[in-house]
């Protein structure tokens, strides 16, 4: 995971997204839902690298590259859908459900409203750690898809969500990627329970960072980003506290 986050921050691909790495070491060991989500995330740095190279291409090359990037994004989206469906199918009980928050609102001073009075309780830690990352990857993926669509068809955001955009399939509910950001926020309280020790902060930190980076330049989501930043500060403080207590 650290290698993928580093590659994301530097917009550079790495061997972690190579087919040989994704498949060969796992020939005899089935991947867990969590590792499958990590594989999806591992493809993001390479896509971002190609996006940043678009201005250096000719107009025709840009169009071709954008279509290819959109195709790759839809393939990752389908993979995430499969992972989520398999998790649902593997249990007769719900994966998570809403409960009233027991903690005070984690918000920056300029956004003191309790944005999430209800949070999620999960079937178990592994489910929570997998879903918070899956939802964070969806924020990154869906916001990226929206940007690619808008770049190719500047008026596409004015069309109904269920309407196709030129030759491209409709984005549908993927336009509402902030809903996935809310899911990430509503997962923090569960994962930060004392019983999970350092595993909680280690699961939460990457997801929060991914969502912050995806939304931070969008003024319409300033309140959510402020909440995420404040939550990330608390998560880091708790992580350091756990480490000091364990010495």
Model confidence at 56: pLDDT above 80: yes
Structural domain boundaries enclosing 14: 2-246
109 vs 52: which has the higher pLDDT: 52
Given a contact cutoff of 8 angstroms between Cβ atoms, the answer to whether 120 and 145 are in contact is: no
Model confidence at 233: pLDDT above 50: yes
Q: Which of 54, 66, 210, 226 is nearest to 141 (CA)?
A: 210
Model confidence at 22: pLDDT above 90: no
pLDDT (mean) for 114-136: 95
Contacting residues for 85 by C-beta, under 8 A, at least 6 apart: none
Model confidence at 16: pLDDT above 60: no
Give the count of domains, the chain.
1
Angle between helix axes 2-9 and 33-42 (nearest 10 degrees) is: 20
Model confidence at 110: pLDDT above 60: no
Torsion angle defined by CA atoms of residues 91, 93, 96 and 97, in that order, rounded to the nearest 10 degrees: 160
* Three-state secondary-structure class, residue 28: coil
Q: What is the pLDDT of residue 236?
A: 86
What are the tokens at 211?
């969502």
* Three-state secondary-structure class, residue 178: helix
pLDDT (mean) for 45-50: 91
Torsion angle defined by CA atoms of residues 239, 243, 244 and 245, in that order, rounded to the nearest 10 degrees: 100
Contacting residues for 239 by C-beta, under 8 A, at least 6 apart: 198, 201, 202, 205
- pTM for this one? 0.87
Residue bearing tokens 């994966």: 95
The average confidence (pLDDT) of the chain is: 86
DSSP state of 168: B
Q: How far apart are alpha carbons 205 and 201 in whole angstroms? A: 6
Half-sphere exposure of 109 (CA within 13 A, CB side): 0
* Distance separating the N- and C-terminal Cα atoms of the chain: 25
108 pLDDT band (50/70/90 cuts)?
very low
Residue pLDDT, tens place only, 60-106: 999 999 999 999 999 999 999 999 999 999 888 999 999 999 876 54
211-214-219 Cα angle (round to 5): 105
φ/ψ of 231, rounded to 5, equals -65, -40
What are the tokens at 54?
């678009």
Secondary structure element (H or E) that encloses residue 96, with its range: strand 96-100
Given a contact cutoff of 8 angstroms between Cβ atoms, the answer to whether 45 and 4 are in contact is: yes
Model confidence at 26: pLDDT above 90: no
30 vs 240: which has the higher pLDDT: 30
Lowest-pLDDT choice from 10-19, 84-93, 135-144: 10-19
Q: What is the pLDDT of residue 104?
A: 62
Q: What is the pLDDT of residue 27?
A: 62
Q: How far apart are alpha carbons 50 and 65 in whole angstroms? A: 8
Rounded percentage of the chain residues whose pLDDT exceeds 90: 65
Model confidence at 107: pLDDT above 60: no
């Amino acid at each position: 995971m650290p290698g993928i986050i580093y590659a994301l921050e530097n917009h550079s691909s790495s061997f972690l997204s190579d087919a040989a790495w994704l498949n060969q070491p796992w020939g005899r060991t089935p991947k867990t839902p969590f590792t499958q989500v990590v594989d999806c995330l591992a493809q993001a740095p390479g896509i971002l690298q190609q996006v940043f190279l678009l201005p250096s291409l000719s107009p025709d090359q840009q169009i071709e590259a954008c279509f290819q990037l959109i195709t790759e994004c839809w393939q990752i989206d389908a993979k995430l859908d499969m992972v989520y469906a398999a998790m649902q199918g593997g249990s007769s009980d719900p994966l998570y459900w809403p409960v009233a928050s027991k903690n005070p609102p984690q918000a920056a001073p300029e956004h003191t409203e309790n944005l999430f009075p209800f949070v999620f309780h999960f079937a178990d830690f592994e489910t929570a750690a997998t879903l918070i990352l899956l939802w964070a990857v969806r924020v990154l993926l869906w916001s990226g898809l929206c940007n690619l669509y808008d770049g190719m068809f500047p008026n596409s955001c004015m069309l109904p969500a269920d309407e196709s955009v030129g030759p491209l399939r409709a984005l549908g509910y993927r336009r509402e990627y902030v809903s996935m950001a809310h899911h990430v926020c509503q997962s923090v309280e569960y994962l930060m329970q004392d019983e999970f020790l350092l595993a909680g902060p280690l699961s939460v930190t990457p997801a929060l960072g991914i969502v912050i980076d995806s939304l931070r330049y969008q003024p319409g989501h300033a309140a959510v980003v402020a909440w995420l930043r404040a939550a990330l500060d608390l998560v880091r403080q708790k992580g350091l506290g756990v480490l000091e207590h364990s010495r």
